[in-house]
Amino acid sequence: MIATLPMYDQPQLQAANDALWQAIRAALPFEAPEALTRGDDLMALWTDPELLLGHTCGLIMVRPLHARVHYVASPDFGIEGCPAGYYSSALVHRTGEAPTEGARLAYNEPNSQSGFGAAQGFGFVPTLETGAHALSLEAVAQGQADVALIDRHTLRIVGVPEGLSVGGKTPPTPGTPFVTAREEWVAPLRAALPLAFEALEETHRNALGLTGVYVLDVADYHAVPQPPTP
């Protein structure tokens, strides 16, 4: 059995994520892993048949993880203008060079809702797959691309690099979901997550930006238009 919370696990947030997991673990009615599992191969973690709790992207849940995991709930990070449990992306470009149709898009990966899926309708040209939001920002700053769509919670954590500006935001979509490998784990996890949120120390809650945990309709994730593979 493993648990992993990799979506917002920058070094400065790892202690807060560890505390969140301990609060979740304490609220569960059965023995759970003593510590979070971390690693570079996130797909291997998400597809582990012993995944008790994972944190992933909505587009990943409905595409490569379809039929391999069960939706549990969605964290809310208080993103302005978004319903509870939803998020959106910021359009980041070089200051003074607002992107137009045909602009070169740097994106973290093609299964990322915030970095790639949310770009639909803007007319941007997928040009550079970077592997991470921070690297997409770097690519725009260095002129390798003209625009990047960055999860607004991630941008709040890492900040807008010098020389770049935010030129707008995308419509809200369901946020980064918690998932589990086994259907029988869904109910106890849904019961434990709100209790863990309430028990989490305010300093850790503020560090994570966590304002609540909500159960959305999983159909809303599947209703988000899926982008073509670049």
Quote the Cα angle for 198-204-210, to 5°: 65
Whether 73 contacts 188, CB under 8 Å: no
DSSP-derived 3-state class of residue 54: strand
User: How confident is residue 11, by pLDDT bands cut at 50, 70 and 90?
Assistant: very high
DSSP-derived 3-state class of residue 202: helix
Quick: pLDDT tens for 124-183. 999 999 999 999 999 999 999 999 999 999 999 999 999 999 999 999 999 999 999 999
User: How confident is residue 22, by pLDDT bands cut at 50, 70 and 90?
Assistant: very high
Calculate what percentage of the chain has a pLDDT beyond 90: 97
Burial of 148 (0-12, 13-18, 19+ CB in 10 A): buried
**Hey, which bits of the chain come out as E strands?**
2-4, 51-55, 70-76, 86-87, 89-94, 104-107, 125-129, 147-151, 164-169, 173-174, 178-180, 212-214
User: How confident is residue 51, by pLDDT bands cut at 50, 70 and 90?
Assistant: very high
Burial of 203 (0-12, 13-18, 19+ CB in 10 A): exposed
Using CA atoms, how far apart are residues 119 and 111, in angstroms rounded to an integer? 12
Q: Please report, as a single letter, which amino acid is at residue 170.
A: T
Alpha-helical segments (H) within 147-185: 152-158
pTM confidence score: 0.92
User: How confident is residue 26, by pLDDT bands cut at 50, 70 and 90?
Assistant: very high
> In the numeric block, which tokens belong to residue 165?
């500006």
Residue-level pLDDT at 229: 76
Using CA atoms, how far apart are residues 94 and 224, in angstroms rounded to an integer? 29
Neighbours of 195 (CB within 10 A): 15
Please give the domain boundaries of the chain with CATH numbers for all domains.
2-81+174-223 (3.40.190.10), 89-170 (3.40.190.10)
- 228 pLDDT exceeds 90? no
Calculate what percentage of the chain has a pLDDT beyond 70: 100
Nearest Cα neighbor of 85 from 188, 220, 223 is 220
Residue-level pLDDT at 90: 97
State the chain's mean pLDDT as an integer.
96
Pairing mode of beta strands 164-169, 2-4: unpaired
Distance of CA 158 to the CA centre of its chain: 14
Residue-level pLDDT at 101: 92
Nearest Cα neighbor of 120 from 226, 3, 4, 5 is 226
Whether 2 contacts 48, CB under 8 Å: yes
User: How confident is residue 20, by pLDDT bands cut at 50, 70 and 90?
Assistant: very high
